[in-house]
Amino acid sequence: MHIAWLGKKSPFCGNVTYSREVTNALLDRGYQVSFLHFRQDSHDTHTDTRATSIVSDVSHDATACEVPLPCFYKSTLYTIPTLKSSKVLSEALRQLKPDLVHASLTLSPLDFVLPEICEELNLPLVATFHPPFDRRRRNLTSSTQHLMYQLYAPFLANYDQTIVFSHIQRDLLVQLGVPPERVAVIPNGVDALKYAPGASDLKAEIGAERIFVYQGRIALEKNVESLLKAWKHSEMGDRSQLLIVGDGPLAASFMATYNEEQGIRWLGYIADEQRRIDILRGADVFVLPSFVEGLSLSLLEAMSCGLACLATDAGADGEVLENGAGVVLNSQRVTTELQTLLPLFRDHPEITSLLGYKARQRVLERYTLDKNITQLEQLYAEVSDCSTNIAVSSA
């Protein structure tokens, strides 16, 4: 089967990781993949995927090819395509003649016209809907995310299938009018062989006995300052370190206040995947204090590496950690709860070891990439069969 994948290759975010991991897994299973993505100019490239050879004329015979779509601007949150992008996309799909189009939605106006383009070309269309959310809408950030769901729901009703990561998301979209038979729950998956417990020199490298990690964007919705305040007030001592892996608009201001004097190290964005894995393997505890989330791949990666994990009940992350696989934090009391929990996890390694084991087992039970791809294959087959039947009936 030939899949035309519309997704992101940069700037780095969860959508980029999702597109990379899924398309590479599809290639491993013998699928033909064409990767269509937004690009501002010829210098904007991202090589962390096998679908990397840029082609000027789209070849149907290529095992994997790349098709750039013109855009004015793109960020980790949204994309602004040029006026001709829909025409470029339509022509690319006409030349590629894929069996199915899968759009890992990039939050751009093109998302709204894609069903029309695919209907005209008689192509089955699947979407993955990524926006984070907070099921309780407890603050401005979560209310804004809920508006995104309200905006997209009428258009997602026109996709053959929309993939979300949890039943909470599915229920929300169905409440907003998307037909329930058109919403499929396929959780994020992590490569449990690659992200696995293993040897690491991290503690010797930074001179710490206990290491806590946050990995993600340094932005308002991630609520990183609550973690930083809790760490500072907990007086964790010289032998414990908090590593902040990632970058974002609030990083510079936080670094001026929270630094190595409090045992906080800012590592910035790390492109090298093996380095990120080594950090997780060498750490003890992973903390994700977000106000809103979807289903965090960073959380799943940390769990798969055997870290004890603490995350808020935003999005589906609380569902991932429920029933003993980790500690679920109240997103409105993160600082207070962490001030109690951080010293506890520092002083009792037996607790972190037990929770790390349970976290790893939870991933193996529910969240492996292999299971994710198998479910995706089944969905592709169902959508293709349905499309074929409709075409035959119309004839």
Residue 250, classed as helix, strand or coil, is coil
Contact by Cβ (8 Å): 161, 184: yes
Our CA angle for 89, 86, 122, nearest 5°, is 60
What is the distance between the alpha carbons of residues 350 and 210, in angstroms, rounded to a whole number?
A: 12
Rg (CA), the chain: 21
* Token representation of residue 43: 């210098």
Quote the tokens at residue 219: 């932005």
Distance CA 191, CA 21 (A): 8
* 163 strand-pairing partners: 128, 184
Tens digits of pLDDT across the chain (395 residues): 999 999 988 887 888 889 999 999 999 999 999 999 998 864 444 433 333 333 444 444 445 689 999 999 998 888 999 999 999 999 999 999 999 999 999 889 999 999 999 999 999 999 999 887 765 555 444 455 678 899 999 999 999 999 999 888 899 899 999 999 999 999 999 999 999 999 999 999 999 999 999 999 999 999 999 999 999 999 999 999 999 999 999 999 999 999 999 999 999 999 999 999 999 999 999 999 999 888 899 999 999 999 999 999 888 898 899 999 999 999 889 999 999 999 999 999 999 999 999 999 999 999 999 999 999 999 999 999 887 766 555 55
Of 110, 72, 73, 75, the residue nearest 89 (C-alpha): 110
Q: How many CA atoms lie within 13 A of 378 on its CB side?
A: 10
In this chain, the answer to whether the domains covering 2-128+369-394 and 202-366 adopt an identical fold is yes
CA distance 355 to 303: 9
Q: Which residues contact 63 (CB under 8 A, 6 or more apart)?
A: 27, 32, 33
DSSP 8-state secondary structure symbol assigned to residue 256:
H
Contact 157, 179 (CB under 8 A): yes
CA distance 383 to 374: 14
Could you give the CA distance from residue 106 to residue 114 in angstroms, rounded to a whole number? Answer: 12
pLDDT at 55: 40
Closest listed residue to residue 37, CA positions, set 73, 68, 77: 68
Q: Assess contact for 203 and 197: CB atoms under 8 A.
A: no
Cα(312)–Cα(321) distance, rounded to whole angstroms?
10
Q: What is the pLDDT of residue 14?
A: 81
Taken in order 145, 146, 148, 153, the sign of the CA dihedral is positive
**Residue extents of the structural domains in the chain:** 2-128+369-394, 202-366
DSSP label of 330: P
- What's the pLDDT at 292? 85
With CA atoms as reference, report the closest residue to 304 among 235, 223, 385, 371.
Answer: 371
CATH number of 202-366: 3.40.50.2000
CATH entry 3.40.1000 includes domain 2-128+369-394? no
Q: b vs e for 239-267, b when ≥16 Cβ sit within 10 Å of the residue's Cβ?
A: ebbbbbbbbbeebeebeeebeeebbbebb
- Is residue 285 within 8 Å of 352, Cβ to Cβ? yes
